[in-house]
């Protein structure tokens, strides 16, 4: 968690652009500033990434909407003649710069207040996690059981479902994994075996078994993607052959279990 005493910069969870009267934004102010510095519409347009025509359209609109003319131009010359800000234009530039500083400080206060709230930070951190792994499950670490080679980490999901993840012993120290910490489990869809809930014919050595309801089956000709919703509302995606999906008679509303080994999840900490 980031707080006011930390040396780390507070992340910009809240972002917003300052705009006055619906049309005076950073682009227009940037053009005014470039005109003030260069004295040329042509050069100013290039500096802010606008065409000469586009810059002129912004200038005309600004002058028309303002009670006082903001930009004074004189014709002549290959670059469109001399251009300068009027006293009103310079005042507007100073006003915007002052408001922009206050706006920035306001956003910093908002972001700091979010950073000081552990529940909000947990929610926001989850939103920015990007990975190609199909399944992302969040929970709390409830137990750590060391082994001769690997260590088993027990993670409790929202509704109390438990997932066991097997990691190497050095990983525990490297990631700072501890009981009570928040964790994310990344599980590839092909690692998951789908079993009909009422099928007790087979016993599996896989440690993890999450029960839910099939909410979607997408057939792809060869493979099928099956989405199982847990009681917590979280979903688990499994990839299996279409023949297997049809043999299990998987369809929307079917009760099913997602089964996977302890070494399938990739364990991350928040």
Taking only the tens place, the pLDDT of each residue in 221-269 is 899 999 999 988 889 999 999 999 888 888 899 899 999 999 999 888 8
Smallest Cα–Cα separation from 270: which of 118, 110, 108? Answer: 118
| For the chain, domain boundaries | 26-115, 135-187, 189-259
Same CATH topology for 26-115 and 135-187: the answer is no
Fold of 189-259: OB fold (Dihydrolipoamide Acetyltransferase, E2P) (2.40.50)
pLDDT (tens digit per residue) in 40-71? 888 888 888 888 888 888 877 777 767 778 88
pLDDT of residue 5: 40
Fold of 26-115: Arc Repressor Mutant, subunit A (1.10.10)
CATH, domain range 135-187: 2.40.50.100
Distance CA 175, CA 160 (A): 24
**Backbone φ, ψ for residue 54 (5° rounding):** -65, -40
Q: Supply the pTM of this predicted model.
A: 0.54
Q: Which two tokens stand for residue 216?
A: 């979607």
- With DSSP H G I counted as helix, E B as strand and the rest as coil, what are the percentages for the chain, rounded to 5? 35, 30, 35
CA distances to 64, 90, 160 from 20, in Å: 15, 16, 50
């Amino acid at each position: 968690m980031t707080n006011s005493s930390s040396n780390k910069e507070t992340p910009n969870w809240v972002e917003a652009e300052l705009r006055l009267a619906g049309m005076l934004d950073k682009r227009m102010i940037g053009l005014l500033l470039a005109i003030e510095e260069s004295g040329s519409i042509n050069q100013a347009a290039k500096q802010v990434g606008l065409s000469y025509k586009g810059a002129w359209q912004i200038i005309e609109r600004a002058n028309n909407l303002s009670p006082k003319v903001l930009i004074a131009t004189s014709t002549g010359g290959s670059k469109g003649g001399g251009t300068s800000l009027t006293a009103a234009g310079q005042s507007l530039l100073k006003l915007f710069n002052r408001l922009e500083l206050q706006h920035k400080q306001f956003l910093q206060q908002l972001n700091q207040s979010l950073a000081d709230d552990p529940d909000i930070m947990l929610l926001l951190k989850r939103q920015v996690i990007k990975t190609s792994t199909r399944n992302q499950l969040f929970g709390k670490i409830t137990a750590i059981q060391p082994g001769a080679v690997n260590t088993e980490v027990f993670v409790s999901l929202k509704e109390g479902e438990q997932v066991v993840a097997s990691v190497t012993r050095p990983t525990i120290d490297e990631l700072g994994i501890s009981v009570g910490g928040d964790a994310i489990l990344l599980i590839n869809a092909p690692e998951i075996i789908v079993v009909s809930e009422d099928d007790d014919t087979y016993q599996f050595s896989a440690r993890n078994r999450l029960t839910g309801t099939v909410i979607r089956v997408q057939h792809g000709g060869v493979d099928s993607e099956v989405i199982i919703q847990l009681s917590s509302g979280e979903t688990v995606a499994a990839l299996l052959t279409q023949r297997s999906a049809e043999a299990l008679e998987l369809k929307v509303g079917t009760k099913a279990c997602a089964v996977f080994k302890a070494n399938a999840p990739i364990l991350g900490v928040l």
